[in-house]
Amino acid sequence: MTAEYKVDGAIAVITLNNPPVNGLGLATRRAIVDALDKAQADAAVKAIVITGAGKAFSGGADINEFGKEEAMREPNLNSVINALDNCSKPTVAAIHSVCMGGGLELALGCNYRVAAPGTLVALPEVKLGLLPGAGGTQRLPRVLGVETALNMIVSGDSVKSEMLGAIPGQKLFDKLAASPDSLMDEAKALAQQVAEARPLPRVRDLPCKHPEGDAYFQFARNMVKGMAKNYPAPARCVDAVEAATRKKFDDGMALEREAFVELMWTAESRALRHLFMAERAASKIADVPGDTPLRDIKSVGVIGAGTMGGGISMNFLNAGVPVTILETKQEALDRGVATIKKNYEAQVKKGKLKQEKYEERMALLSTTLAYEDLKNADLIIEAVFEEIGVKEAVFTQLDAVAKPGAILASNTSTLDVDKIASFTKRPQDVVGMHFFSPANVMKLLEVVRGKATGKDVLATVMKLAKKIKKTAVVSGVCDGFIGNRMIEQYSRQAGFLLDEGATPQQVDKAIEKFGFAMGPFRMGDLAGNDIGWAIRKRRAVEQPDMKYSATADKLCELGRFGQKTGAGWYDYQAGKRDAIPSDLVNKMIEEHRKALGITPRKISDEEIVQRLVFALVNEGAHILEDGIAGKSGDIDMVYLTGYGFPIWRGGPMHYAGEVGLFNVVQAMQRFARNPNDDAKFWQPAPLLAKLAAEGKQFS
């Protein structure tokens, strides 16, 4: 059932019922028009109320239909709203919880609207690289005014119903219900009251003007150009709303429709829609049922009050979960707490956090030097020194102290979670929770699943990730999990590009122009070049055939670890973070090329970007083959939320699909023929080669 029809006295009630958020899929759209026909054919029915069952009035068009012909198949949403516009009896929308996108457009097609307080109202299409495509750009300005409507459409942000209802002169809501519980009674009462009222008020008949149209829309265009240079949709939103003030309603609708169809086929919209689905899919684990019982996490222990431990603690304090931080020395605890306070005070100073909220959070924080004090914690996360011996000591003690059923998590970024679990008698309770620095800011959380990790532990951590506003992605156990394993190949290619003739600044500029937040060399200087140095030393023992450019080691041998040592790939002025191209480093690279007998060549930005990005794609394909990531969208989520991959390109695996896997493999074959590149490096992963040969995508 996708819409229920019931007659209550003289009022017909149509209830959308397409869980989870009453997405307006084809079957639901058909059910609405059938119900409208039924109500109009029944002489006993004098008015109609439309509402939504469950947790939403409607979340809008059904995103599962995107890119499919069902989305456009009649009755499409515009046709449903036209049927409302031409309905012979008054229609009242009873709005609650969530009223978004096509759901709000549907409500705007009704003659009257009653909203429960606390309803989230939005036209979020722009966040999918679209614009409202069922009259939202033409109707919302008519009921809220041009400026309020345009702000909502260009931002895509939700606004509470009571705020919109308080706008002087607004015509969006005819009534705000006293409470969600009284909504239906009040909507039916209004329907009864207007049953004979004629002519029926239609939003499309309202005037739509802006007193200084030219100046305002010029201002709006300038604003949008600045904030959305990589996205075409916001500018089209401005065009459509401007059309509402200048054209007849139907002509404005035609412009909106044309813009909507055009945007639907842009790479940016495909990327944003992929991101929307991938983010939700990431929280689903193939072999962990959605109804897996969860463990109750009422308190958290964090071991280590350093940068990571402090940041991790803040995530839970922010979510109202009490935290006990354990350290080995009081001064380490004091330093850690002082850093947490400093972070919060900075937010209070910027007006991003209220003083009382800050105090509330600090009241949830306690500290200790004794493992004993963690005995009641439901989840304990260690963030101690990245050395297996230290982890062994910590988990051995945790095993002795933690209560049965406590989840024991390691924040390790490189060590073997199975080995860590083996230090306990409860491997089923052990899981990796790999936060990214700064842990209280970065959205990505790699949840590392050990061989023995319990399904309820995984389900609990994935749910908890949502509560602390993290994007959690499950990774299997391997060196570097998903993100760091891929970035190692990316960094190797960056080094080879230097050997062949590129400079650090040229590589960084090329990939930053492609959209990365930061190129590999600026990022190395920020994170510390010694991290990669330690990994290469380990590699030299474990995997001697894995070649690297020697430039990175030479840099570290000069003590140039990056910003923390005042010099890295770039030079830095004291106290500043601006990366200054270094003559010393560029000379070192030139001498290194000579020693290799390589004549430097000019390398195009396109080749730089392809070699860096396809290095990620190929390793991502290996990660899928090895079962370390469950789906390619998970890999995209890791790169979009943890490694600065440009959002509007959808992540490395999605981007490879946009390029075409055939073309990716063709490029890799060209690189393999380059005498100075590592032919073995460009051996396509079997999965990539197979999909490319079959003309398929990763997902």
Which positions are annotated as active-site residues?
A: 105, 125
User: Closer CB to ligand T1G, residue 132 or residue 311?
Assistant: 132
CB atoms within 10 A of CB 483: 23
CB atoms within 10 A of CB 337: 19
> Minimum distance from CB of 448 to ligand T1G (Å)?
22
CA pseudo-torsion sign 52, 53, 59, 61: negative
Q: What is the CA radius of gyration of the chain?
A: 29
Contact footprint for ligand T1G (CB under 6 A): 20-21, 23, 56, 59-64, 77, 98, 100-102, 105, 124-125, 128, 130, 132-134, 136, 280
CB 52 within 8 A of CB 14: no
> Minimum distance from CB of 333 to ligand T1G (Å)?
36
Biggest CA–CA distance in the chain, Å, is 93
For residue 384, the number of C-alpha atoms closer than 13 Å in the C-beta half-sphere is 21
Preceding amide of 75 cis, omega within 30: yes
Output the residue with the shortest Cβ distance to ligand T1G: 101
User: Closer CB to ligand T1G, residue 60 or residue 304?
Assistant: 60
User: Closer CB to ligand T1G, residue 23 or residue 642?
Assistant: 23
On the 0-12 / 13-18 / 19+ scale of CB atoms within 10 A, 533 is middle
User: Closer CB to ligand T1G, residue 62 or residue 418?
Assistant: 62
Q: Which helix (H) or strand (E) holds 525?
A: helix 520-527
Among 459, 476, 458, which Cα is nearest to 417's? 476
Q: Which helix (H) or strand (E) holds 492?
A: helix 483-500
CB 3 within 8 A of CB 32: yes
Phi, psi at residue 56, to the nearest 5°?
-155, 150
How far apart are the C-alpha atoms of 387 and 342, rounded to whole Å?
Answer: 29
Phi, psi at residue 420, to the nearest 5°?
-60, -40
> Minimum distance from CB of 133 to ligand T1G (Å)?
4
How far apart are the C-alpha atoms of 472 and 106, rounded to whole Å?
Answer: 34
Q: Indicate left, alpha or beta for 466 from its phi (over 0: left) and psi (-120 to 50: alpha).
A: alpha
Phi, psi at residue 410, to the nearest 5°?
-115, 135
Find the DSSP H helices in 61-182. 77-85, 102-108, 136-144, 146-155, 161-165
3-state secondary structure of 333: helix
For strands 570-571 and 580-581, give the pairing: antiparallel
CB 243 within 8 A of CB 148: no
Strand partners, 542: none
Phi, psi at residue 581, to the nearest 5°?
-50, 135
**Which tokens hold the place of 268?**
């940016």
Strand arrangement of the beta sheet that strand 98-100 belongs to: 98-100, 120-122, 159-160
Q: What angle do CA 694, 698, 699 make, to 5 degrees?
A: 115
Among 625, 620, 679, which Cα is nearest to 655's? 620
Give residue for tokens 């930005």: 605
Strand partners, 430: 408
Strand partners, 380: 301, 408
Phi, psi at residue 66, to the nearest 5°?
-60, 140
For residue 374, the number of C-alpha atoms closer than 13 Å in the C-beta half-sphere is 30
One-character DSSP codes across 646-673: -GGGT-HHHHHHHH-HHHHHHHHHHHHT
Strand partners, 567: 562, 571
User: Closer CB to ligand T1G, residue 60 or residue 646?
Assistant: 60
How far apart are the C-alpha atoms of 559 and 567, rounded to whole Å?
Answer: 8
